Homo-oligomer: A and B are copies of this chain.
Amino acid sequence: MPSWVDGQPLEWLSVKDRGLAYGDGLFETIAVSGGIPALLERHLARLGDGCARLLIDLDLAVVRAELLAFSRELGDGVAKLIVTRGDGLRGYAPPQAGSPRRILQGSAKPAYPAGNAELGVRLFPCATRLAEQPLLAGIKHLNRLEQVLARAEWQDAEHAEGLMLDASGRVIEGVFSNLFLVQDGVLLTPDLSRCGVAGVMRAELLAQVQAQGIRCDVRDIGVDALLQADEVFLCNSLYGVWPVHSLQWHQWSVGPLTRKLQVIACDLLDS
């Protein structure tokens, strides 16, 4: 599998990199099919937003060109892009004239059970809560210990994903997915202004349903609202859409809006 650092084939980077030292950077995980990166412009837009928030001066045109070339070499699989602030001296202060580093890693598409998409998945109720930090909410930065701890809570194959709440008990997302629910024909997804990762597939699905005139709302969602929902599903930019069929003792049926959006997501990833 290919591995590039700053556009050159390389599997190593300097121990002085601030991505290692402080998680001082961002990443994107991009599905690649037939040499084409899916949802490229949305990935670049989120990356650009993250760089603006973290004050990382990245040339997105260079990143776009590299992602296209890397995807051609990869063919089919997953391209993971990490952007860091580059090397640093000791100390938190960002270098005045920074030189961001670009790391690209290829891997095979994950082999999820076909039943996840067809029949739906069971959610693990994670005890790890997401801290509320508006300065970092929404962007896909490299400070991911909360996700590591949450994902370490279960090892069984029965649970395909975990449900994460924030410190106040609001429903936020899966460990590696965004979460949607349908209530009385309205599509709802949690507000991510305090914590959570605003996924590229989430953004794309929100844009598609708005274009189709389906009512949708981004807002705070409690556990009660989740349990009372007519449909619940997860999404991300690798697997598309997975219906959720259960959480602890609670069960949901796979509904029509979930299936409709699943087809849309599938088309986006395969095209």
CB nearest neighbor in B for A175: B92
Give a binary string over A124-161; 1 marks a CB under 8 Å from any B CB, 0 the rest. 00001101110110000111111111111001000000
Cross-chain contact of A147 among B3, B22, B131 (Cβ < 8 A)? B22
Q: Note all chain B residues with C-beta closer than 8 A to A131.
A: 131-133, 136, 195
Is A80 an interface position by the 8 A CB rule? yes
Q: Which of A9-17, A218-226, A252-260 contacts B (4 or more CB under 8 A)?
A: A9-17
Bound CA span A17–B85, Å: 17
A110 to B144 alpha-carbon distance, docked (Å): 30
- B15 and A148 contact, CB distance less than 8 A: no
Residue of chain B at shortest CB distance from A24:
B148
Give the distance in Å from the alpha carbon of A141 to the alpha carbon of B89 in the complex: 18
Interface residues of A in 39-92 (CB under 8 A from B): 54-55, 78, 80, 82, 84-85, 89-92
Q: Can you tell how many copies of this chain the complex includes?
A: 2
A19 within 8 A of B: yes
Question: Is A21 a contact partner of B82 (Cβ separation < 8 A)?
Answer: yes
A7 within 8 A of B: no
Instruction: Check A152–B21 contact: CB distance below 8 A.
Output: no
Instruction: Select one of B17, B18, B105, B152 contacting A16, CB under 8 A.
Output: B105
Interface digits, A1-39 against B, CB 8 Å rule (1 contact, 0 not)?
A: 001010000111111111111111001010000000000
Q: What are 23 A-B contacts defined by CB distance under 8 Å?
A: A12-B12, A13-B15, A15-B105, A18-B148, A20-B82, A21-B27, A21-B82, A22-B147, A22-B148, A23-B143, A23-B144, A54-B148, A55-B152, A85-B148, A89-B107, A90-B110, A92-B175, A96-B155, A129-B135, A131-B131, A131-B132, A131-B136, A132-B167
List 12 other contacts, CB 8 Å, given A80-B90, A92-B144, A92-B151: A15-B103, A21-B27, A22-B145, A23-B142, A92-B148, A92-B150, A94-B151, A96-B155, A131-B195, A132-B132, A135-B149, A143-B144
